Structure 1
Amino acid sequence: MNSIFNLEGKIALITGGAGVLGSNFANVLAKQGVIVGIVSQSLEKAESTVKAIEANGGKGFAVQANVLNKEELEKIKDFIVEKYGRLDILINAAGGNMPGATIQPDQAIYDMKSDDLQKVIDLNIIGTMLPSQVFLRTFCETEIRKYYQHFFCFGTKAFNESCGLFCFKSGNRQLYTMDGG
């Protein structure tokens, strides 16, 4: 996947990076020379994903965190800034669903479990917002203004429209929503 964008040596962090979606993002980025950080609640799964990346010639690191725990995310931010001096790419791929939060064909709305639905909402919305808050600060505070740096938010359409894609060049901050607005 060669393109006009050179990602060689960029530092990426992928929440949910050990999952199906996140690990595929990680593999594609690693093939482009990106050093990929894998965030997972399971350090074993994150390490396994990094081993697979390294087996294909890529570089990566594994970190354990719950995307709903801001203190854990702050520790990861501090680790990345200390080790690499910057973060170039964030992909929020953590998310999911659970049976109690969905309605099966033989069920009605009153069969949905509100506690399960709240867990899904927290994971998919708050679990995207908290990493975005923590790591966007890193983009703004580090001296990386010579290059375009990308901040990706994946999640619900409503959240993408309010969060969007932030690009930095020469100290100017511009906001682009995922739908190009």
Structure 2
Amino acid sequence: MEEPARLNDARVMRALAHPIRLRIIALLSEIGPASVSALAGHTGESTASVSYHLSQLARFGLVEEAVEARTGRERPWRAVHRGLSWDWNDGDHGLRAAYLKERLRVVDEFVAAEDALTPEWKTAAFFLDDVGHLTTAELAEVSDRIKALLAGYRRPDPADRPADAQRVVFFAYGLPHER
């Protein structure tokens, strides 16, 4: 799987401005090839809805059929890229809103389920809010360093993961902000 898709086409950004499409891309990037029925189970959507959204993602080259993983009548799909990346200022407003809504959904799910976590996982989980004074070059460096650090923990192959590893979602931002 290639590095994150670098979005610079307004049509593609508008096509992605849907929470289910963003969730499908995230799932396929994480779990690898999956059938429409498996994706429907993960998203809570109908198979017809997932199938439609996959066709829209395929139209823009973001997903493709995983022909080699086909078994019987199941047609698995895979993400062409590992995630998405775009220049925030060039992004479609609908994509921005859908993306932020999806990130907040993940936080809401964590809050709803945190009582089921072990004390160790509760201690390890974190929210980070900090402020620095950076140049544009320094902010770009911070972004690159965070991406490089997290790359070592992706472990897409389950055989490479420690037995007690759990899926952990990271969301970070670095935005210039006036008081």
TM-score bracket, normalised by the shorter chain, equals under 0.3
TM-score (ref. length: structure 1): 0.26
**Greater strand percent: which structure?**
1
Bigger fraction of residues in helix: 2
Bigger relative contact order, structure 1 or 2 (CA pairs below 8 A, ≥6 apart): 2
